[in-house]
Amino acid sequence: MNILLTISFSSIASGIHHWLVSTIPNELLAKSIEMVIVGICLLLFLVPLCFILGYMERKVAGFMQMRYGPNRVGPYGSLQIVADTVKLVMKEGLTPTGSDKFLFNLAPVIMVVTCMLVLAPIAFAKDFQIWDINIGVLYVSAISSLAVIGILMAGWSSYNKYSLLGAMRSGAQIVSYELSVGLSLISIVILTGSLKMSDIVMSQETGWWIIRGHIPVIISFVIFVIASTAEINRAPFDLAEAEQELTAGFHTEYAGMKFAMFLLAEYINLFIVSAIAATLFLGGWMPFHIGHWEAFNHIMDFVPSSLWFLGKTFFIIFIIMQFRWTFPRLRVDQLLTLEWKYLLPISMVNTILVTVMAIMGWHF
């Protein structure tokens, strides 16, 4: 086998860590440099990822509406998102006269930083994880909840009634749908017996939970996809950015790079919820294994773990993008009715079913 394939990402990270500690006598400074390197690597991954997702969104929209999508700038329109980025970079970033300038400028930074923090415990491939914390699922739920602070801050500090209305809508929406998202995650935690992301992935070595967990886990997966779509303010749950009512919602007053940061955060959030769904329900980087079928499982192992993870993640991204071009936008009352009268009661009953199934050992 090629020697490059046998080198794990964890061994590379350990090598860099030992080199920094041995070169720099101050341990705190060495760790700070290590964190800066991780942050730069994340940005180098996230910026091209957002280009890909932006291009993919427009092509999916074209596919759903039986049109081409971008097809002028670059081969098959592949450079259209680059042209849009150049336009955003060159645009002047204006700050409203009556706004709270400090909070107005801080809001997009909070959005992007929160997204980057949530990526820490997600395993992108075998032995490729920034921080394998033992409360990974709880960490993801807690940190992702901070994003609403950036949205509320942006809406309030803009000194614009439409921005404030959009922020208030988003706050109510995120707080409501977080309950269903949390209960869906608890279902997998109950079956796994661990909050650690790596343990959850390894527990699916003989089969993904969406297959082994029968109908209750399928229900949890469907609720998670619907509720997380609402939590990241994607259509048909984009009441916080309803163009016909609120112009652009909480980021109406933003332009240039500040607006680009909100766009970046939206696509990162889309990737995060899809990656979490892939990790908890579809095995993450774990190949498709069937029980103790050694020959079949061995063949599946030939596919790199990173491809398994990205394939599952982009499959869920495609589903969420299809939502936008399939369903009309819900009204505010319909949005909250869906959560409080349907998704939340179903999630609570389903959690009880999963608990009974785990106690009785009825899963595969």
3-state secondary structure (DSSP) of residue 90: helix
Q: What residue ranges in 183-287 does DSSP mark as E strands?
A: none
3-state secondary structure (DSSP) of residue 203: coil
Residue 42 confidence (pLDDT): 87
Residue 180 confidence (pLDDT): 93
Residue 99 confidence (pLDDT): 83
Per-residue pLDDT of the chain (364 residues; tens, 9 = 90+): 333 333 456 677 777 777 777 787 777 787 788 888 888 888 888 889 999 999 999 999 998 888 888 888 888 888 998 898 898 888 887 888 888 889 999 999 999 999 889 998 998 888 788 888 889 899 999 998 888 888 899 989 988 888 888 888 888 888 889 999 999 999 999 999 899 998 999 988 888 899 888 899 999 999 999 999 998 888 788 877 766 666 667 888 888 888 888 888 989 999 999 999 999 999 889 888 877 788 888 888 888 888 999 999 999 999 999 988 888 888 888 888 999 999 999 999 999 999 998 888 776 6
CA atoms of 251 and 243, how far apart (whole Å): 11
CA atoms of 43 and 115, how far apart (whole Å): 11
**What is the reported pTM?**
0.89
Residue 139 confidence (pLDDT): 93
Q: Return the bridge partners of 136, or none.
A: none
Closest CA to 226 of 181, 196, 176: 181
Residue 2 confidence (pLDDT): 35
Tokens, residue 161: 């009634």
Other beta carbons within 10 Å of 209: 24
Work out the angle at residue 126's Cα, subtended by the Cα atoms of residues 140 and 315, and round it to the nearest 5 degrees. Answer: 65
CA atoms of 72 and 143, how far apart (whole Å): 40
Residue 4 confidence (pLDDT): 37
Residue 364 confidence (pLDDT): 65
CA atoms of 220 and 315, how far apart (whole Å): 17
Residue 361 confidence (pLDDT): 79
Tokens, residue 323: 């939502």
